[in-house]
Amino acid sequence: MTCIVTLKHGDRIFMGADSIGSNGYDVAHRKDRKMFRKDNMLIGYTSSYRMGQIIQYHLKLPTHKKTGKSPTLIDTHEYMVKYFIPELQETLEKHKWLRKKDDVASGGVFLVAYLGEVFEIDNDFQVAIRDDEYNSVGCGQDYALGSLYVTEEFCYNKPRERVKLALEAASYFSAGVGGEHIIEELENK
């Protein structure tokens, strides 16, 4: 139970998260965050604190390779699909989090802000990129997305405020979202 929000604005990506753990009935206010920096990435997760902790403390980010002999890096989406996801799956399996049913692996849901893009990693390890400048995951995502859509018109040049309002809307309407709201930003480099 969570709400993670991202918003691309100019040369920055803003990410926000709530801070409670919930089973739908009970709430635990937690100090360990659902969002963290890992090298030059911002990662915000839902699904499981254990999954997030494995990603935060055990995942070794693969090198972002260059295109042949060119100094140019391969496409960021290609990097995520070809290098990040296999390393993630291996790490989750090693630490007993990767789940398999009928020989199909599944994990959890999280957002990764990296090199000017936001990637949504789904349970089946697909790497999605929304066409919108914003995204949200978790049980509060619908409220957050509605807020981000509406505030685009009157709050466009206040990205931190838009993320804050999205988290507040999710906290107001969803029993699984609440506590302190944490907002970070990442430069698009």
Residues in the chain: 189
Tell me the average pLDDT across 76-101.
Answer: 95
Evaluate whether 46 touches 34 at the Cβ level (below 8 Å): yes
Residue 59 lies in a domain: yes
Q: For residue 132, give Cα distances in angstroms to 39, 116, 128, 147, 185.
A: 25, 13, 12, 13, 18
Residue 187 lies in a domain: no
Residue 28 lies in a domain: yes
**CB neighbourhood size of 131 (10 A):** 4
Sign of the dihedral defined by the CA atoms of residues 156, 5, 57, 109, in that order: negative
Residue 105 lies in a domain: no
Alpha-carbon distance 5 to 65, whole Å?
Answer: 28
Judged by DSSP in three states, 79 sits in: helix
For residue 189, pLDDT beyond 70: no
Residue 94 is predicted with a pLDDT of: 96
Residue 22 is predicted with a pLDDT of: 87
Supply the mean pLDDT for the chain: 94
Q: For residue 7, give Cα distances in angstroms to 27, 84, 97, 109.
A: 27, 22, 29, 17
For residue 77, pLDDT beyond 70: yes
Calculate Rg over the CA atoms of the chain: 16
Residue 168 lies in a domain: yes
pLDDT in tens, 127-169: 999 999 999 999 999 999 999 999 999 888 999 999 999 999 9
Residue 186 lies in a domain: no
- The whole model's pTM is what? 0.94
**Pick from 184, 151, 176: nearest CA to 43:** 184
Tell me the average pLDDT across 61-84.
Answer: 90
pLDDT in tens, 79-88: 999 999 999 9
Q: What are phi and psi of 141, to 5 degrees?
A: -60, -40
Say if residue 76 is exposed, middle or buried (CB neighbours under 10 Å; 0-12, 13-18, 19+).
Answer: middle
Alpha-carbon distance 138 to 136, whole Å?
Answer: 7
More confident residue, 156 or 126: 126
Residue 185 lies in a domain: no
For residue 6, pLDDT beyond 80: yes
Structural domain including 34 reads: 1-65+110-173
Number of domains in the chain: 1
Residue 23 is predicted with a pLDDT of: 83
**CATH number of domain containing 166:** 3.60.20.10
Residue 142 lies in a domain: yes
For the CA atoms of 40, 111, 185, 50, what is the dihedral angle to 10 degrees? -80
Most confident of 19-28, 29-38, 94-103: 29-38
